[in-house]
Amino acid sequence: MFGNRDFGIDVIRAQPGTYACGMGLGIMLLDEVYPGFPGDVRNASAYPFPIQYDVVEGVDIDRLVFQADKSACLKPILHAARRLERMGCRAIAAECGNFAYFQKEVAAEVSVPVFMSSLLQVPLAQRLIRSTKRVGIVCAFVRQLTEHHLVSVGIDAASNLAFMGACEEYSCPEFENLWSAGKRPAIPTASFERAEAEFVSACKDFVSKNPDLGALIFSCTGLQPFARSVQHEVRLPIFSWSTLLDYAFSVVVHREHYGHV
């Protein structure tokens, strides 16, 4: 994955207040212990660039996703963002689509680009498809997605959207084993094959019931590992955390172009 050294790097200088060099993306993690398949943002192994994690202390799934009053989340989120920036991360992201709620606040706090939710891609997706088509937003818990979440990342809540909640409208117990308080076991565990089958089936049904869909957006990071399998079945463009993070890294660490004339 690595070529020759970058001959554009001749002299190196310290960046005031920044500890590490050669960093990539800084990722905020929820203060929860559960596993993620490759492709999940909390699993660093599938990404071809450096990942630096920081836990947002005291902000778990319940507090970020289900609690109506999210004001207590802001301070620890900003602290995590500042720590990641100080470490030297070139951009900051998060592991849950519901972090969209704080996109504007975090972007105002740090000096590096901020990608708090895969939902940032919704306005782009809307402009890439026919105006008569809708963009499908796919979440685990769609009922917790408020207008504030949407507006914070530049989405017109009254625009051409459709919504799906995998854990609310369909049977996806493997997801609930990881994320649903009261349902997950003491040691959260999930089967890839069962989770894939459950989620692919749900997405196929969602698309069949909404034939005017022109693209899908996967809001939750735990859905990303199954994006390719879903796309094989529904044949739609899919925007996910993976497409967002690939883009984020390419913006802050632009690649060289090698070729010939």
Over residues 31-40, mean pLDDT: 94
| pLDDT of amino acid 16 | 83
Confidence of residue 1 (pLDDT cuts 50, 70, 90): low
pLDDT digit string (tens) for 152-207?
999 998 899 999 999 999 989 999 999 988 888 899 999 999 999 999 999 999 99
End-to-end alpha carbon distance in the chain: 25
Q: Are residues 78 and 112 in the same domain?
A: yes
Instruction: Give the CA distances from residue 124 to residues 23, 106, 121, in Å, rounded to whole numbers and listed in that order.
Output: 27, 21, 5
Domain co-membership, 229 together with 125 = yes
**pLDDT at residue 217 greater than cutoff 80:** yes
| Same domain flag for 126 and 228 | yes
Task: State the CB neighbour count (10 A cutoff) for residue 48.
Answer: 8
On whether both 230 and 131 belong to a single domain, the answer is yes
- Look at residue 134 and tell me if it is in a domain: yes
Greater pLDDT, 19 or 35: 35
Q: What is the dihedral of CA 194, 199, 202, 203, to 10 degrees?
A: -150
Q: Do residues 76 and 141 share a domain?
A: no
Cα separation, 145 vs 249, whole angstroms: 26
- What's the number of domains the chain is made of? 2
Give the model's confidence band at 3: pLDDT under 50 very low, under 70 low, under 90 confident, else very high: low
- H and E: helices and strands count for the chain: 10, 8
Q: Helix, strand, or coil here: 56?
A: coil
Q: Would you say residue 9 lies in a domain?
A: no
If asked whether residues 127 and 84 sit together in one domain, one would say no
Q: Domain range spanning residue 74?
A: 25-116+245-252
CB distance 134 to 161 below 8 Å:
yes
Tell me the Ramachandran region of residue 79: left when phi exceeds 0, alpha when psi lies from -120 to 50, beta otherwise.
Answer: alpha
User: Rounded to two decimals, what is the model's pTM?
Assistant: 0.92
Residues 32 and 69 in one domain: yes
Domain match, 164 and 93 both: no
d(CA 117, CA 152): 10
Average pLDDT value for the chain: 93
**Is 5 part of any domain?**
no
Same domain for 138 and 226, yes or no, is yes
Residue 226 CA from chain centroid, whole number = 14
Q: Give residue 146's pLDDT.
A: 93
Does a structural domain hold residue 10?
A: no
pLDDT given for residue 156 in this prediction: 93
- Rounded to the nearest angstrom, the gap between the alpha carbon of residue 259 and the centroid of all alpha carbons in its chain is 33
- Taking 3-state DSSP, the helix, strand and coil percentages for the chain, each rounded to the nearest 5, stand at 45, 15, 40
